[in-house]
Amino acid sequence: MEGCNFTTLSVFIVIAVGIYRWFYRPSKFPPGPRGFPFVGVVPFLGSYPERTIANWKSTYGSIMSVRFGPQDWVVLNDYEAIQQALVLKGDSFSGRPPMPSFLDLASGNGLSFLDYGKKWKLQRKFGLMTLRGFGMGKKGMEARVLEEAAYMNKEIRKQSGKPFFINRTVSNTVSNVICGVVFGRRFDYGDPWFTGLLRDMDKRFQTTGMFMLLVFMPWLRHFPPGSRMVNDLKSDVGRLIDDFEKEVKQHNSTFQKNDIRDFIDAYLDEMHQEKETFTMEQLLHYIRDLFEAGTETTTSTLRWALLCLIHYPETQNKLYREIVTVLGEDGKPSMSIKDEMSYTFAFIQEVQRYRTLVPLSLPHCTSQDVEVAGFCIPKRTVVVPNIWAVHNDPNLWDEPEKFKPERHLDAGGQFVKSNFVMAFSAGPRHCVGEQLAKTELFFFITSMVQCFEFLPEEGNLPEIEKGTVGSVFAPLEYKIVAKERQF
């Protein structure tokens, strides 16, 4: 009888503690929905969580807490909230949470998921300085991108105006730019090593829907299909790291301090001087970050841009007329004439706003207890900026659901750079490859539109409202026709 009473009491205590922990929130913590035990609000998020969360702003405000699985995250749901947290108090909001799904893949290395601190600052400073030169003195950034644009257009011409899937061509092009930065050379599009590299990276982004569930509810990684997916991702990452290691060893065997050829050489040079944070494992995952982030984001943005061209032919005509007026039929684009190509830059900025590529950005976490907008957010709280909500805020944009490049031009037709377009996030952790990505988008779009008129496959206008579900909002696969322009 006494044992039975003890068991009943124990169960009661466990239930009471569970209920208390479920409803407990720290003092002055942002309000928000809790959902159900174990899963939180995940069942209510739908295919596009950022849009659901943006709708909750009317109930809970610009800064809210949202319970993903067993944990409360803080979501910054408009531009002002993001500015107050990530920019004005960037030192307090620039950490990376210790999420098992990311730790499994990066082992605490690289740059994207490295926590805020001395190591991250040194690695980021190195990356910014190295990428700024892009080519390490051998070739300038513009020369490398122009060279790859020529290869891309040659590949498109091979389609002879017939419908084809352009995603592989664009991915090859963008990845080869990264190859130029990292390895100091480009690869033929049919090279077995190069195609294997892209195949392994593709698999990483084809599983984003399930991967996001693992991010929200880490305990799912212990059960199928989560455990199977984690093991598959580990294998894919392992192959990438092995491939990169072979490249690094080859570089090391021919390294000369007075002849820095590329990113790997620059990093090896740092390793010879500073061995605490500049290590082989860190270099290998840094390279992986550059390839994964640099390839997927720019490739998907270009694919959205092409979709916009075929959905809005008048926009394509305006773009082409500006390009021919400024460059002629065969002139080469240059950043030195960007002020003369206002509509081109307005088009690119509108693509980035209209189809937000990373809607919830990457997760941040607080590095200390911090107060923002009257709320107290404890140390190590996960914080997510809702970039989609900013890009679709009716207080910032007239008819945000519509594609209108002209919204980024002033009364005189000049391009106006908008702080409200946050394609590269904000604050200390904004994208390290921002300048490279902007250069690629300008050169590749200009070069393609100069050479080709892009049309939909007859009777089949591709989907533009829907995209992939997960951390990256990429276009669904589609066919396109590239009609070569006759001069």
| 3-state class (DSSP) for residue 66 | strand
Burial label, 405 (beta-carbon count in 10 A; 0-12, 13-18, 19+): buried
pTM for the predicted model, two decimal places: 0.92
SS3 377: strand
Give the separation between CA 93 and CA 296, rounded to whole angstroms: 25
Alpha helices in 24-73 (DSSP H): 49-55, 57-60
Alpha helices in 25-78 (DSSP H): 49-55, 57-60
The distance in angstroms from the start CA to the end CA of the chain is 96
pLDDT, position 104: 64
Give the count of beta carbons closer than 10 Å to the beta carbon of residue 204.
18
Strand, helix or coil for residue 65:
strand
| Closest CA relative to residue 428, chosen from 133, 85, 193, 136 | 85
Q: d(Cα 468, Cα 186) in Å, to the nearest integer?
A: 29
- pLDDT of amino acid 219: 77
Could you give the CA distance from residue 176 to residue 188 in angstroms, rounded to a whole number? 9
Cα(91)–Cα(54) distance, integer angstroms: 26
CB atoms within 10 A of CB 404: 17
Name the β-bridge partners of 457. Answer: 460
The DSSP secondary structure of 148-202, one letter per residue, reads HHHHHHHHHHTTTT--EE-HHHHHHHHHHHHHHHHTSS---TT-HHHHHHHHHHH
Query: What pLDDT is attached to residue 136?
Result: 40
Pair 373, 93: CB distance under 8 Å: no
Burial of 318 (0-12, 13-18, 19+ CB in 10 A): middle
If one looks up domain 2-484 in CATH, what number appears? Answer: 1.10.630.10
Give the three-class secondary structure for 64: strand
Pair of tokens at residue 92: 């307090």
Q: Cis ω on the peptide bond leading into residue 33 (within 30° of 0)?
A: no
Q: Output phi, psi for 419, to 5 deg.
A: -70, -15
Residues 6 or more apart whose Cβ sits within 8 Å of residue 486? none
Cα(289)–Cα(483) distance, integer angstroms: 35
Which tokens belong to 339? 């002020």
> Strand 71-76 and strand 382-385: pairing?
parallel
Residue written as tokens 């210790």?
Answer: 98
pLDDT tens track, the chain, 487 positions: 556 665 665 555 655 554 545 566 788 999 999 999 888 999 999 889 999 999 999 999 999 999 998 899 999 999 999 999 999 999 999 999 987 766 666 677 899 989 999 999 999 999 998 887 654 434 578 888 999 999 999 999 999 999 999 999 999 999 999 999 999 999 999 999 999 888 877 766 655 567 677 777 777 777 788 788 778 888 888 888 999 999 999 999 999 999 999 999 999 999 988 778 999 999 999 999 999 888 989 999 999 999 999 999 999 999 999 999 999 988 899 888 989 999 999 999 999 999 999 999 999 999 999 999 999 999 999 999 999 999 999 999 999 999 999 999 999 999 999 999 999 999 999 999 998 999 999 999 999 999 999 999 998 999 999 999 877 899 999 999 999 998 7
Q: What is the pLDDT of residue 139?
A: 54
Distance CA 391, CA 386 (A): 9
**pLDDT at position 212:** 72
**Tens digits of residue pLDDT in 404-425:** 999 999 999 999 999 999 999 9
C-alpha span between 5 and 25 (Å, rounded): 32
Among positive and negative, which fits the CA dihedral 130, 135, 141, 144? negative
Query: Can you give the pLDDT at residue 169?
Result: 95
Residue 274 three-state SS = coil
